[in-house]
Amino acid sequence: MNEASNKSYIKYSWFIMGFVFLVILAGGVVRMTQSGMGCPDWPTCFGMWIPPTDVSQLPVDFESYLSKQDIDHSFNVYHTWIEYINRLLGAILGVFIFIYAIWTSIKFSTRKPKMKILLLFNLGLATSLIIFAILRYSLLAQLSGIAFLLSAFFSLSFAIRYASRRSLVIVSILLLIAVAIQGWLGKVVVDENLSVVKITIHMIGALVIAALPLINISKLIEDKIQVTPFIKHLMSGMIFIVLIQIILGTQVREEIDVISKALSYEQREVWIEKLGSIFIIHRSFSWAVIIGSIALYFKGRDIVEYTKTGKWIATNVIAIVGLGVIMIYLNVPAISQPLHLFLACALLMQLFYGRIRIT
Ligand code: HEM
């Protein structure tokens, strides 16, 4: 199958990657507006599927929900709805990824009719599971649940066994598993009132979800770029360095969370000075990213197809470091926090995609 016949599939893979970034940005806005605990429970919000817009719509036991919140302790409609929209985007991403996995399994199957029947059978079981659960027929719901799990397992094995492009199907299934784990982690983060270590794992999960569609895209795009071994190794090294820098940054963010919460999210001018050694390490480690990106740019200047990649990577590094400097000297403007995070994730994806496209 050539690249042209996969055009829509490639476009949809890009769309999934873009949507992950939308979810990352929405998460940043949640934090920027301190809406993290706007919905104190999960998956419902104040025990409802569509959260209240007014204090009069709160459930009778609303005090038990509000006591879980870290700053509000009273109903704040903006915090609640910002967090709710963030969750909604996450759920929509899950649906898009589900469609992606089904599309990949059928598109790259050598037994298309059988694959379609299997998928319909699974959908039937999943629907009965949902209906029995809603009607509270617990035994029937449990039986449908077990039947669904067995059938889903069989279907996935079938999809992999009879795939014309096995690696693409495996990647799409991994994507589905990753988004399910990520959703579950979202619940754990809420249950433990945004416990810090889990935020880092949640961050890494988001990066994995964004990177997986890129693997499929690169496998379907035929024009691989020829570069020198030096650039190839430097790209791999940079992925590793930026990943470490992102983890360090997340630790800094966790410290900022503790400091800002203790100050009721005020006195931004003292947040940076209260940071510990992890901030100094994060700041200094930027030199490795800066030097690496300069080297990538200069070494790749003569390779026509690669010049653009090198330029964009260098531009992004300048923007990320610029935002870091702005945070230090302009008392951590709220908007700079999600932007710094967004661009850091984009940098990692630029490097990752750049690396898997070169030979
Ligand atoms: C290219 C290098 C850099 C990368 C890839 C990077 C990445 C990150 C990431 C991923 C975070 C976590 C953000 C979050 O979870 O919301 C972060 C936080 C942070 N970084 Fe960087 N960073 C870089 C350079 C810098 C520099 C040079 C500075 C300062 C001079 C800086 C200052 C900060 C600060 C203050 C935070 C905490 C911000 C917050 O509360 O959201 N970073 N960084």
Handedness of CA 179, 181, 185, 191 (dihedral sign): positive
As a whole number of angstroms, the distance between CA 76 and CA 45 comes to 13
Handedness of CA 29, 31, 35, 38 (dihedral sign): positive
Q: Taking CA 282 as the corner, what is the angle to CA 277 and CA 283, rounded to the nearest 5 degrees? A: 100
- With a 6 Å cutoff on the Cβ, whether 206 touches ligand 1 is no
- With a 6 Å cutoff on the Cβ, whether 243 touches ligand 1 is no
Count the residues in the chain: 359
Pocket probe for ligand 1: among 248, 282, 286, 352, the residue whose CB has the most ligand atoms within 8 Å is 282
- With a 6 Å cutoff on the Cβ, whether 282 touches ligand 1 is yes
Task: Name which residue sits closest to atom 27 of ligand 1, judged by CA.
Answer: 321
Nearest C-alpha neighbor of 31 from the set 280, 267, 199, 274? 199
Q: How many angstroms is it from 147 CA to the middle of ligand 1?
A: 47
- With a 6 Å cutoff on the Cβ, whether 288 touches ligand 1 is no
pLDDT tens digits along 214-238: 999 999 987 788 888 999 999 999 9
As a whole number of angstroms, the distance between CA 12 and CA 217 comes to 10
Query: Which tokens go with 262?
Result: 């203790």
- With a 6 Å cutoff on the Cβ, whether 79 touches ligand 1 is no
From first to last of its 359 residues, the chain has per-residue pLDDT tens of 556 678 999 999 999 999 999 999 998 898 888 887 788 877 788 888 888 888 787 777 776 666 666 555 677 888 899 999 998 999 999 999 999 999 999 999 999 999 999 999 999 999 999 999 889 888 999 999 999 999 999 999 999 999 999 999 999 999 999 999 988 887 776 666 556 667 788 889 999 999 999 999 999 987 788 888 999 999 999 999 999 999 999 999 989 988 998 998 889 999 999 999 999 999 999 999 999 999 999 998 888 888 888 999 999 999 999 999 999 999 999 999 999 999 999 999 999 999 999 88
Question: DSSP H helical segments within 135-195, as ranges?
Answer: 138-161, 166-191
Q: How many CB atoms lie within 10 A of CB 28?
A: 20
**Is residue 68 within 8 Å of 42, Cβ to Cβ?**
no
Task: Name which residue sits closest to atom 40 of ligand 1, judged by CA.
Answer: 253
pTM tops 0.85: yes
Provide the β-strand partners of residue 56: none
Is the backbone of residue 75 left (phi > 0), alpha (psi -120 to 50) or beta?
Answer: beta
As a whole number of angstroms, the distance between CA 339 and CA 133 comes to 41
pLDDT tens digits along 305-320: 888 889 999 999 999 9
Q: In what helix (H) or strand (E) does residue 269 lie, and over which residues does it extend?
A: none
As a whole number of angstroms, the distance between CA 242 and CA 248 comes to 10
Q: Return the DSSP state at 280.
A: H
Q: Return the DSSP state at 272.
A: G
CA distances from 170 to 109, 175, 216, 239, 302 (A): 12, 9, 10, 23, 36
- Residue recorded with tokens 């969370």: 257
